[in-house]
């Protein structure tokens, strides 16, 4: 996905972010169900991505289609998605799949009210455990890619293999087995795992400093970054003597360096032990 579709997906993910703290796994299931409907109708995909249609018209189409069949939250997400611009009809389906998987991953991230990196690591481990089991067996690979086998039979087989996995992992694994959408099931599971890894970056602060930090400075850095981002971050540090400004912090896609003095002032003071 590239160009206008990539931009639209980024917009849709940003919109979705506001819903994720309170999202449930049932929302992800609903979105995967809508994906099934959209994938089954080339005409619907064309209508949702027709560049000659106004966004409001496409939104109204989705609302009519889903009224009484999905939650208001799911309808809102899909309606917003349809209102955006897409370069190809398949792109809106791919985007919907990404949104559904992201909801499931975010639910795992919340982890029984204890959001954090560990929950995402567990999810990723569950996904890759399934991949390893299938990759080690030609029989399983054949069974999961048998064109004559019913999707639900493939889902049931996959879930047997993932019996000890989390509910979020089982949803993603079952989806990949039943509806791989042109990919091998394990390849789609790996794609879901990549989305989980991307979300993990939100919990990791990569800190480059001009000189090594003492334990006390590391403690102050941890406290400052946790307060700045509103969550418990995992910090990794590297030393770069050539670093201008003395510190550079990377959290996900965000980079804080000497050019963002306002946000780094408190951190610098904390590292120097001048202020809390």
DSSP string, 176-191: HHH--TTS-HHHHHHH
Token reading at 88: 């190809």
Of 177, 200, 223, the domain-final residue = 200
SS3 209: strand
Of 143, 165, 200, the domain-final residue = 200
Residue-wise pLDDT tens for the chain (276 aa)? 678 999 999 999 999 999 999 999 999 999 999 999 999 999 999 999 999 999 999 999 999 999 899 999 999 999 999 999 999 999 999 999 999 999 999 999 987 556 677 889 999 999 999 999 999 999 999 999 999 999 999 999 999 999 999 999 999 999 999 999 999 999 999 999 999 988 888 888 888 888 888 898 888 888 888 888 888 888 888 998 887 767 888 888 888 875 454 455 566 666 666 544
Residue 17's domain spans which residues? 3-200
**Beta-carbon-side half-sphere exposure of residue 205 (alpha carbons within 13 Å):** 24
| Region of residue 86 (left: phi > 0; alpha: psi -120 to 50; beta: else) | beta
Going by C-alpha positions, the residue among 141, 171, 168 that lies closest to residue 159 is 171
Q: What pLDDT does residue 262 have?
A: 44
- Would you give the distance in Å from CA 25 to the centre of its chain? 14
Asked whether residue 101 falls in the same domain as residue 196, the answer is: yes
Of 171, 200, 229, the domain-final residue = 200
Q: How many domains does the chain have?
A: 2
Residues whose CB is less than 8 angstroms from the CB of residue 251 and which lie 6 or more positions away in sequence, other chains included: 201, 202, 204, 205, 206, 225, 229, 233
Q: What pLDDT does residue 269 have?
A: 64
* pTM of the shown model: 0.82
Q: What pLDDT does residue 115 have?
A: 67
Q: What pLDDT does residue 248 have?
A: 86
d(CA 58, CA 125): 39
Length of the chain equals 276
Token reading at 238: 């590297």
Angstrom distances, CA of residue 7 to CA of 11, 58, 68, 85, 91? 6, 18, 30, 9, 11
Q: Is the dihedral of CA 15, 20, 25, 26 positive or negative?
A: negative
d(CA 90, CA 38): 9
Asked whether residue 179 falls in the same domain as residue 252, the answer is: no
Q: What pLDDT does residue 274 have?
A: 54
Asked whether residue 158 falls in the same domain as residue 122, the answer is: yes
Asked whether residue 218 falls in the same domain as residue 145, the answer is: no
Asked whether residue 137 falls in the same domain as residue 36, the answer is: yes
């Amino acid at each position: 996905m590239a160009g206008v579709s990539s931009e639209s997906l980024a917009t849709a993910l940003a919109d979705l972010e506001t819903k994720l703290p309170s999202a449930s796994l049932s929302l992800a299931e609903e979105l995967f169900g809508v994906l099934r409907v959209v994938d089954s109708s080339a005409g619907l995909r064309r209508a949702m991505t027709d560049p000659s249609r106004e966004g409001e018209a496409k939104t109204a189409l989705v609302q009519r289609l889903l009224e009484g069949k999905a939650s208001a939250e799911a309808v809102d997400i899909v309606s917003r998605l349809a209102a955006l611009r897409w370069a190809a009809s398949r792109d809106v389906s791919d985007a919907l799949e990404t949104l559904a998987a992201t909801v499931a991953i975010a639910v795992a991230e919340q982890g029984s009210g204890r959001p954090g990196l560990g929950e995402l690591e567990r999810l990723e481990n569950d996904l890759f455990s399934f991949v390893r089991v299938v990759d080690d067996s030609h029989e399983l690979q054949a069974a999961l890619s048998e064109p004559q086998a019913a999707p639900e039979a493939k889902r049931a087989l996959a879930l047997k293999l993932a019996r000890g996995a989390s509910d979020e992992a089982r949803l993603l694994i079952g989806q990949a087995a039943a509806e791989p959408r042109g990919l091998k099931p394990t390849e789609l599971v790996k794609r879901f795992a990549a989305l989980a890894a991307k979300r993990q970056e939100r919990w990791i602060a990569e800190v480059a400093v001009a000189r090594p930090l003492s334990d006390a400075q590391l403690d102050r850095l941890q406290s400052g970054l946790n307060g700045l981002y509103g969550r418990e971050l995992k910090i990794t540090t590297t030393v770069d003597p050539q670093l201008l400004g003395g510190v550079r912090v990377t959290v996900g896609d965000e980079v804080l360096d000497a050019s963002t003095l306002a946000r780094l002032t408190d951190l610098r003071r904390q590292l120097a032990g001048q202020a809390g």
